[in-house]
Amino acid sequence: MKMFGTNGIRGVVNGYMSSELALKVGKSIAKVLGPGSIAIAKDTRTSADMITCAVESGLLAMGVDVVDLGMVPTPALQYYVKTHDDVVAGVMITASHNPPEFNGIKCVSADGTECSHEEETAIEDAYESEIVCPGWDGVGSVRRVSDAGEAYIDAVVRNVDADAIRKAGIKAVLDCSNGAASNTTPLLMKKLGVKVVTLNASPDGRFPGHYSEPTEDNLGDLKRMTAETGSDLGFAHDGDADRCVFVTGSGRYVPGDQSLAILGRSAVQKNGGGIVVTTVATSCVVEEAVKSVGGTVEYTAVGSPVVARRMISNGALFGGEENGGLIFADHQYCRDGAMSIAKMIEAVVLRGSLDEQVDSLPKFVTIKAAVGCPDNLKGATIKEIAHRHEGERINLTDGLRIDYDDGWVLMRPSGTEPKFRVYSESKDKAVAEGRSKRFLEEAGAVISSLQ
């Protein structure tokens, strides 16, 4: 049975995500990722204690010792796992940006990266099997650690020019989305000497401020407050603070691919060259910005674990996805919201205001659409369209992408729904729209012919 989606196991609490499921998942994780100590942490959801206790009980029953970090961001758990040799894995209880009735279980490998697909499959197989627990004298114990959040923030501070930031007298607005960064990112602001106004910084799993996905629609207060308080920039986390999005001093929302471009360009400038990794679904704004300062871009399939693992193998400086999940090789190989904020503040201090930096980027138009396709026809559809476009610049890294001199199109099979997501990008709006329309028509005709 497939339990893991793109970001762990998720479900509605006391529906699919029951205490019984969490208990057995805990045992399965212990069987696959143990023996040894396993760290666990949670975000602010109302069901955090219920799911944490059940997973912990499963781990303990299997003889694993648990290090309980309490409520901290996902990247703080990942940093703890990476920096403690006696800890062999991590478990994060979070449903990230999902509505409040959801919760989830996400697994972390010994090096602090998100578990690979193979490890997740092994946990699913263990869940389906009969699990034998040790005797009464073989069960584990719990140790509670209260300073994992601060140790993580100290590491973030060490990875930027903190003196330059303190001297610059930056003003900012921070929206914690009532999530897991409600304690740690205000602490980061204090340590960097940033004068900060906070929004939604009380931990509250009902998410009274706004839903925990930091879309532009959810960030009206942040945009207004940033402009009205004369701040240099504003930023917002998602629920578990592995991601972050930005607004400029004038209150403009910065789309995730533009943050990627600005921070990729900044990393390459600071290093005097280097590689940036992103996915085939990311705007060419990243490649143009990175190339303009002498860097190179490599593309992977969609998914932050894929990006992180490519960065490890090719020695890239920086990578990420256009949803605000950004990975910094000098810190750790996972999406990191607090590190993203510190690096963006550093970029503003060293290279000029965020408004100016956004304005300096090349402008692209990306049309996002979808076409329905039964799951069993997705492979054949891609094969047929690739065949029809033989001789063109075809890339099959994730779905089908075709590059042109003035843009690209991508059709990616949705992992959760019977459809393809279709992207078309160009600097010329008419080109992007025309190509999107033609591609949708062609895909629709091919899918019909296969049915």
Q: What positions carry a catalytic annotation?
A: 96
User: Least separation, in Å, of the C-beta of 304 and Mg ion?
Assistant: 9
Q: Sort strands 393-395 and 400-404 into parallel, antiparallel or unpaired.
A: antiparallel
Name 416's Cβ contacts closer than 8 Å, sequence gap at least 6: 5
Question: Does a cis peptide bond (omega within 30 degrees of 0) precede residue 100?
Answer: no
Helices (H), 170-254: 184-191, 220-228
Measure the CA–CA gap between 411 and 257, rounded to whole angstroms. Answer: 18
Q: Which is nearer to Mg ion, 40 or 409 (CB)?
A: 40
User: Least separation, in Å, of the C-beta of 96 and Mg ion?
Assistant: 3
Token readout for 254 is 């910065």
Site of interaction with Mg ion (CB under 5 A): 96, 238, 240, 242
Contact yes or no for 402/408 (Cβ under 8 A)? yes
Q: Which is nearer to Mg ion, 174 or 371 (CB)?
A: 174
Q: Which is nearer to Mg ion, 28 or 96 (CB)?
A: 96
User: Least separation, in Å, of the C-beta of 317 and Mg ion?
Assistant: 22
Measure the CA–CA gap between 409 and 415, rounded to whole angstroms. Answer: 19
Residue type for 306, please? Answer: V
User: Least separation, in Å, of the C-beta of 6 and Mg ion?
Assistant: 11
Q: Which is nearer to Mg ion, 26 or 104 (CB)?
A: 104
User: Least separation, in Å, of the C-beta of 241 and Mg ion?
Assistant: 7
Q: Which is nearer to Mg ion, 140 or 239 (CB)?
A: 239
Q: Collapse the DSSP code of 82 into the 3-class scheme (helix H, G, I; strand E, B; otherwise coil) and give the result.
A: helix
Name 258's Cβ contacts closer than 8 Å, sequence gap at least 6: 285, 358, 361
State how far the alpha carbon of 446 is from the alpha carbons of 58, 98, 437, 451, in Å: 49, 34, 14, 9
